[in-house]
């Protein structure tokens, strides 16, 4: 009886799998039989959902759970592209896809900490289960566009970090853009809080009656007009 039941289960599995060759659901993630999708492939990552979407011609083709950065070390927000692909050993994560983030080394990679997937657990990179990242690796190429989004507040979705010289991130870049629009900053929007950004903040603080600390704190954010939507 046991052998008959086992055989029946195996037969049912193969009937379902081959009758639906387009997808197989596993643990909440969607796996497709390994084949190159036809059309333009891009990636959308939602840090709020902790989910990565593979898009083909702008339509969702695949979906994977991921881990993203913590509040202290957030995942970059914005439009990037893959600049490097590499196969790593199993110790850290089997695949690596680097993004062209100007203020540091960030990318999509596997992990030896699968329990972290679905959380805010990384230093800014996007972590995936190794099986998932290997599948993604086979579908993308150098130059593939990667859109990373937060909530309605963009890089400030999870709050406002106090920014000091040496800070890096999407929030620094947003402050640089705001300073530029107000006529205080003429440098590049590189997301790096260097001496030029600090000097611009000090000039802004003096002009707006704030203590010239060179630190972007709550009062400075408010004067810059950077506030959270309620």
- Name the catalytic one among 23, 123, 125, 129: 125
Active site residue 109: yes
Instruction: Provide the token pair at 154.
Output: 């963009």
- Name the catalytic one among 23, 109, 123, 129: 109
- Give the C-alpha separation, 198 to 213, whole Å: 9
Instruction: Provide the token pair at 228.
Output: 């959270």
User: DSSP letters along the chain, please?
Assistant: -HHHHHHHHHHHHHHHHHH-TT-EEETTEEE--S-PPSS-EEEEEETTTTEEEEEETTEEEEEEE-BEE-SSSPPP-EEEEEEEEEEPPTTT-SEEEEE--TTS-EEEE--S-GGGTTSEEESSSEE--HHHHHHHHHH--TT-EEEEE-BTTBTTTT--PPB-TT-BSHHHHHHHHHHHHTTS--S---SB--HHHHHHHHHHHHHTT----S-B-HHHHHHHT-----
- Give the C-alpha separation, 25 to 12, whole Å: 15
Residue in 98, 170, 169, 101 with CA at minimum distance from that of residue 133:
98
Cβ atoms of residues 67 and 38 within 8 Å:
no
Residues annotated catalytic, as ranges: 109, 125
């Amino acid at each position: 009886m046991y052998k008959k039941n086992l055989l029946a289960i195996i037969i049912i599995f193969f009937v379902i799998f081959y009758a639906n060759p387009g997808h197989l659901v596993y643990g909440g993630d969607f796996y497709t039989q390994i084949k190159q999708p036809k059309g333009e492939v891009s990636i959308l990552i939602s840090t709020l959902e902790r989910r990565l979407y593979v898009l083909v011609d702008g339509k969702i083709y695949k979906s994977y759970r991921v881990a993203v950065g913590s509040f202290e070390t957030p995942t970059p927000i914005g439009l990037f592209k893959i600049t490097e692909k590499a196969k790593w050993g199993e110790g850290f994560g089997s695949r690596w896809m680097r993004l062209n983030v100007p203020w540091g080394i960030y990318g999509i990679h596997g992990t030896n900490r699968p329990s972290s997937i679905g959380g805010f657990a990384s230093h800014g990179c996007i972590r995936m289960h190794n099986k998932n990242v290997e599948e993604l690796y086979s579908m993308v190429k150098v130059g593939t566009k990667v859109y990373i989004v937060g909530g309605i507040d963009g890089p400030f979705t999870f709050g406002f970090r106090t920014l000091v010289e040496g800070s890096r991130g999407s929030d620094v870049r947003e402050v640089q853009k705001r300073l530029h629009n107000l006529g205080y900053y003429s440098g590049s929007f590189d997301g790096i809080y260097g001496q030029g950004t600090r000097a611009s903040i000090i000039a802004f603080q003096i002009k707006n009656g704030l203590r010239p600390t060179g630190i972007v704190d709550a009062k400075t954010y408010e004067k810059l007009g950077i506030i959270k939507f309620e």
